[in-house]
Structure 1
Amino acid sequence: MTTVSLNPSPIYSLSQRAHQIKESQIRESSRYCEKFGAINLAQGLPDFPAPEALKEAARAAIASDMNQYADSWGWHKLREAIAQKMQRDNQITIDPETEITVCCGATEGLNVALMTLIDQGDRVLIFEPFYENYIPNLATVGGIPEFITLHPPQWEVTEEMLLPAFKKGLKAVIINSPANPTGKVWTRTELELIAKLCQEYDVYAITDEIYEYIIYEQEHISLMSIDGMRDRTIVVNGFSKTFCITGWRLGYVVASPYLSAAIRRIHDFITISAPAPLQYAALTAMEFGREYFTNLADDYRRKRDLFYPVLVELGFAPVLPQGAYYIWTDSSMIAKDADSAAFWLAKEALVAAVPGTCFSHPDREKVNALRFCFAKKDSTLESAIANLRKVCHFS
């Protein structure tokens, strides 16, 4: 891979945001796979197929010439299905005509949410370890990240931790539950605490709920369902993780009519609309029975329980995730820093993981952690386990 320098030059004059945004470490970790022939347990993309009914629905939509612009807000039948899902699974009544916007992935959803709320210099609270996108997302709107570091194994959030940040002055807080990279699932008590402080200090919440159906011992609760948060929460979600279609880039945003009107204006001039035939296909997925979602969680729990004990056995000191499909581990027994550990693992064990620096405060001098993805075929996980056992003996 050839990296182009972003250093100032007499030829190019780039924006400050272009200088602030660095290349993705997740994608870089995946490139180790090409370089060393390593097994990709880095990037959060399954290596098994999407449901056949969903693929057939996409083929049929394309063949039926559903290939032009869709309604910028999203196909009305899909919005209606999302509203039904919100009522059924999140106990939130939503108007599909005024409160749902279908967009190009949860990534665009998060960006338009931030663009709707955040001005230059506004502070936004994020919880470390955090999903890699949040820092560059904030850079694009001039937001200032305010960090609170959570600690394993519970990743607990307390009022003592939160109060200084809220008193400092926040415009918004980003909640990711179930969380990437830690697998933390926010409890009702924690969400009620956030809700109380958001109302007391007039703060908005953006909730990233893309892994809501990939959940194990706990239940998923949407912050929007907590008393007082209906009009000050923007829910960001999508189809990628639940239906194994990360390449479709299909997501949605749920918010009050006033917030949605602004979200829709911004979305319209960024991407116009999400892919039309894929929206038609997604309606098929929304009509899957409850068995699909139960089986999804059960299958990922089984994969977690296959891979996690091996990481314990080899001395990685993993943290058992309560949701999502990642495992957070120590890396200090491999190298002095996470980047070196990830490089060594890909080169020597032929297994690619993401270094913890990707999910940490950019000014933090030392991070000793790795994130492994177990959204893989059993045969892939078994091959990775065999590779790890050959060279990793840290216990």
Structure 2
Amino acid sequence: MSTTGHSLAVPGPDPAPWQRAAAGANLLAADGGLAVTIFEEMTTMAAACGAINLGQGFPDEDGPGAIAEAARQAIAGGANQYAPGKGTLVLREAVAAHQQRFYGLDPDPEAEVIITTGATEALAATLLALTGPGDEVLTFEPFYDSYGAMIGLSGATHTTSPLRAPDFQPDLQHLEEAFTDRTRVVLVNNPHNPMGTVFTREALAKIVELAARRNAVIVTDEVYEHLTFGVPHVPVATLPGAAERTITISSAGKTFSFTGWKVGWLHGPADLVAAIRTVKQFLSYSSGTPFQPAIAAALALEDSFYEGVAAGLQRKRDVLAEGLRRAGLEVFTPDGTYFVNVDAAPLGVTDAAALARRLPELVGVAAIPVSVFCHAEGAERTRSLLRFAFCKRTEVLEEAAARLARLPELLG
């Protein structure tokens, strides 16, 4: 194993699956029991204190009414039983059409597209299908928390390559050193949660080159594909030499503000998709039957919808970012996603996790410490960083900014 990555050590000689998952997501308590996630902890504290919850990344407004009406019509029309295991044909065709329209990709909706219960199930089915004990799964760090859990469930080893301040772009030399002959999958979250980074074409091309050299599969999590601010989203599968080894994953929740519908999808080479489908059928089998035709209609919305979503979110980003600067925090302006990260060190803060646990009562705002998205070494590197979600109504963000402005005097 590469000495430049971090491996996951699970306590005990033969851990149960829940222990592997919990360890991968940093949820094992000191006594070996199950800890509460930081998201649950912060949400509970926010509710108890009447705080504005900028911790979890979900909108506080629904998506287009016409899409919700399409789901209601599907329910009224009897689309209430199991969908086909790989998803309804209308949505598989809509996903294929979306990929062709925006990126020039041409997946076969019959053999190369699967509809899933959100991107999370797509990721789980992919990792469980393609990796196991003895394999390595390489991610960037910080990493979305479910990655560690799913890698733990698969029995593979989780290795990482760091994203460092201030730009949080891949370190290409470190990335090359992190690949080994055991790297079965490189998992690329772009645009990146939690850091808000949109990877450069150069970085993506390097990932493709290294994956080809090591015969690794590239799995991309592109759920924020339409939420970028002045920079293009480049799907890895569009790069030379990538399509034959890339599983592309996305979902409807973030783009259309229907996160609770849990409609996701993946596409890629037919042989890999067949293996993933075998696992997926024993997870949810199928879900969200009446939501699938509604999301098919959503994917066909005009370009102006997609442009408007990104522009509106960028304005919200700027409102919160300016408030965070006024609060004396160093702001890392994101190029995409729902999230803005800050360094609390200018306020003398060395432990952002401790600060996050004080914020709901101190100023009435909840955030998430970036260290929870890391293994031990990465947690130390990101010790003073906090993540705030800006996918909220503008007036909510303005109030949060006003509350946060009191931080310097309260911490002084």
The SS at the match of 1:96 is: coil
Which residues in structure 2 correspond to 1:21-32 (within 5 Å)? 21=25, 22=27, 23-32=36-45
Residue 242 of structure 2 is matched in structure 1 by: 229
Amino acid at match of 1:374: F
Q: Mind listing any 5+ residue stretches in structure 2 that lack a counterpart?
A: 1-10, 28-35
Which residues in structure 2 correspond to 1:130-141 (within 5 Å)? 130-141=143-154
Q: Does 1:375 align with 2:391?
A: yes
Residue among 63, 80, 85 paired with 2:93: 80
The SS at the match of 1:270 is: coil
Amino acid at match of 1:211: Y
The Cα offsets for residues 341-366 of structure 1, whole Å up to 9 and x where unpaired, read as 10111110110001112212245563
Which residues in structure 2 correspond to 1:79-228 (within 5 Å)? 79-167=92-180, 169-228=182-241
Give, in whole Å, the separation in 2 of the partners of 1:365 and 1:179.
17
Residue among 252, 270, 292 paired with 1:279: 292
Which residues in structure 2 correspond to 1:54-69 (within 5 Å)? 54-69=67-82
The Cα offsets for residues 280-312 of structure 1, whole Å up to 9 and x where unpaired, read as 211221121111000001001111111112212
Residue among 50, 53, 56 paired with 1:37: 50
Q: Mind listing any 5+ residue stretches in structure 1 that lack a counterpart?
A: 1-6
Deviates more, 1:20-29 or 1:121-130: 20-29
Give, in whole Å, the separation in 1 of the partners of 2:180 and 2:18.
31
Residue 240 of structure 1 is matched in structure 2 by: 253
Equivalenced residues, count: 386
Give, in whole Å, the separation in 2 of the partners of 1:345 and 1:329.
14
Q: Is the CA contact (8 Å cut-off) linking 1:102 and 1:251 kept in structure 2?
A: yes
Percent identical among aligned pairs is 34
Residue 33 of structure 2 is matched in structure 1 by: none
Give, in whole Å, the separation in 2 of the partners of 1:148 and 1:160.
10
Q: Does 1:388 align with 2:404?
A: yes
The SS at the match of 1:251 is: strand
How much does 1:116 deviate? 1.5
Residue 17 of structure 1 is matched in structure 2 by: 20
Q: Is the CA contact (8 Å cut-off) linking 2:195 and 2:339 kept in structure 1?
A: yes
Q: Does 1:338 align with 2:341?
A: no
Give, in whole Å, the separation in 2 of the partners of 1:381 and 1:87.
36
Q: Is the CA contact (8 Å cut-off) linking 2:373 and 2:379 kept in structure 1?
A: no
Q: Is the CA contact (8 Å cut-off) linking 1:349 and 1:390 kept in structure 2?
A: yes
Q: Is the CA contact (8 Å cut-off) linking 2:162 and 2:170 kept in structure 1?
A: no
Q: Is the CA contact (8 Å cut-off) linking 1:124 and 1:146 kept in structure 2?
A: yes
Q: Is the CA contact (8 Å cut-off) linking 1:327 and 1:372 kept in structure 2?
A: yes
Amino acid at match of 2:178: A
| TM-score, normalising length: structure 2 | 0.89
The Cα offsets for residues 156-199 of structure 1, whole Å up to 9 and x where unpaired, read as 32431122111463111111111111111011111111111111
Q: Does 1:354 align with 2:368?
A: yes
Residue among 242, 266, 275 paired with 1:253: 266
How much does 1:14 deviate? 7.5
The SS at the match of 1:171 is: strand
Give, in whole Å, the separation in 1 of the partners of 2:103 and 2:288.
26
Residue among 338, 341, 350 paired with 1:328: 341
Give, in whole Å, the separation in 2 of the partners of 1:392 and 1:45.
28
How much does 1:27 deviate? 3.0
Give, in whole Å, the separation in 2 of the partners of 1:357 and 1:235.
27
The SS at the match of 2:406 is: helix
Q: Is the CA contact (8 Å cut-off) linking 1:24 and 1:132 kept in structure 2?
A: no
| TM-score, normalising length: structure 1 | 0.93
Deviates more, 1:169-178 or 1:103-112: 169-178
Give, in whole Å, the separation in 2 of the partners of 1:119 and 1:194.
22
Give the aligned CA root-mean-square deviation in angstroms: 2.0
Give, in whole Å, the separation in 1 of the partners of 2:55 and 2:175.
31
Amino acid at match of 1:305: D
Residue 269 of structure 1 is matched in structure 2 by: 282
Residue 3 of structure 1 is matched in structure 2 by: none
Cα distance, 1:67–1:321 mapped onto 2, change above 3 Å: same
The SS at the match of 1:73 is: coil
Q: Is the CA contact (8 Å cut-off) linking 1:334 and 1:341 kept in structure 2?
A: no
Q: Is the CA contact (8 Å cut-off) linking 2:52 and 2:396 kept in structure 1?
A: yes
Amino acid at match of 1:336: T
Give, in whole Å, the separation in 1 of the partners of 2:401 and 2:407.
10
Q: Is the CA contact (8 Å cut-off) linking 2:370 and 2:379 kept in structure 1?
A: no
